[in-house]
Structure 1
């Protein structure tokens, strides 16, 4: 496959990447307004916070793998990280469709810290979607040079979203 074929291969995914990058946050926002009168068999926040923590760990392990030129391990870990993120998203939506949002009860400066982390977590979770998709597409189309370039941006963004999700959970957990 020559360079032009890779570019064409990448471009055929652009419409899907744009559609998903818009649709996912819009659907999540819409589903937040939908309430289902159902009781889940488990309390999801600690579970999906654990999934976020595992995602962060997997991302770091994938970074270490690629630094050590263990390409197949890196590939498997990245697919696992995407699966974990999808699992998180499903649980997060299910929880918010079946439960009222918990209000943060901290006061003073810590309240501003919490809301700063929460706001950046939410914004970055939206921003990271196209980065993850583009990075993944460049990997599966074997456009490794462009994959590396965008992965340098995607990795810290995605890691921030995963870690800040855990921090948000820890900070709000006394108020559940």
Structure 2
């Protein structure tokens, strides 16, 4: 496996996380608790796999930066998305833990309070992760990007 194999895997894992997060919120709103639990565990697994692949990708690249070189409005949009995605991605991990721990402890009122914050942020990070991939590698690819 080469580093260039990982970005589409990462995007796929983010897309799967998005599907599981949306399914999980739909299930709980329809009082389907077991389906909610299964969906959210799947979201955790795919997000964890994403994080492992993402760290591996950057470790294999030995600190070589990935740059968006397409000019004009796409570059502005890319950096706006990336500039919100990155800090929220760092915030997501502790939020997820602060949400799932009360669920495991059956402290559902605290779980619900935390989930109101975690859900939209985690969803945004998953969706924008896919958008970053599409913008960087599919819609506006650069020949400068070292794979």
Alignment TM-score, normalising by the size of structure 1: 0.74
Is 1:172–2:144 an aligned residue pair? no
Partner of 1:75: 37
Output the CA distance in 2 between the equivalents of 1:130 and 1:98. 26
Give 1 or 2 for the bigger CA radius of gyration: 1
Question: Which TM-score applies when normalising by structure 2?
Answer: 0.88
**For 1:64-97, what per-residue CA distance to the aligned partner results, in whole angstroms no more than 9, with x for missing partners?**
1101111111111111111111100111111111
Structure 1 residue corresponding to 2:127, chosen from 143, 146, 163: 163
**Offset from partner CA, 1:133-159 (integer Å, 9 cap, x none):** 011011011111111111111000000
Separation of aligned partners in 2, 1:62 and 1:87? 18
Q: Which residue of 2 aligns with 1:89?
A: 51
Gaps of 5+ in 2: none
Return the alpha-carbon distance in structure 2 between the equivalents of residues 139 and 60 of structure 1.
Answer: 18
Tell me how far 1:42 sits from its aligned partner: 6.3
How far does residue 101 in structure 1 lie from its aligned partner after superposition?
3.0
Number of equivalent positions: 138
2:1 paired with 1:47: no
1:116 to 80, 94, 97: 80
Moved over 2 A (4+): 39-42, 99-102
**Correspondence for 1:145:** 109
Give me the whole-angstrom Cα distance separating, in 1, the residues matched to 2:7 and 2:79: 18
Q: Which residue does 2:89 correspond to in 1? A: 125
Return closer, same or farther for 1:154/1:42 CA change in 2, 3 Å cut-off: same
Does the C-alpha gap of structure 1 residues 41 and 128 become closer, same or farther in structure 2, counting only changes over 3 Å? Answer: closer
SS in 2 for 1:110: helix
RMSD over equivalenced CA pairs, Å: 1.4
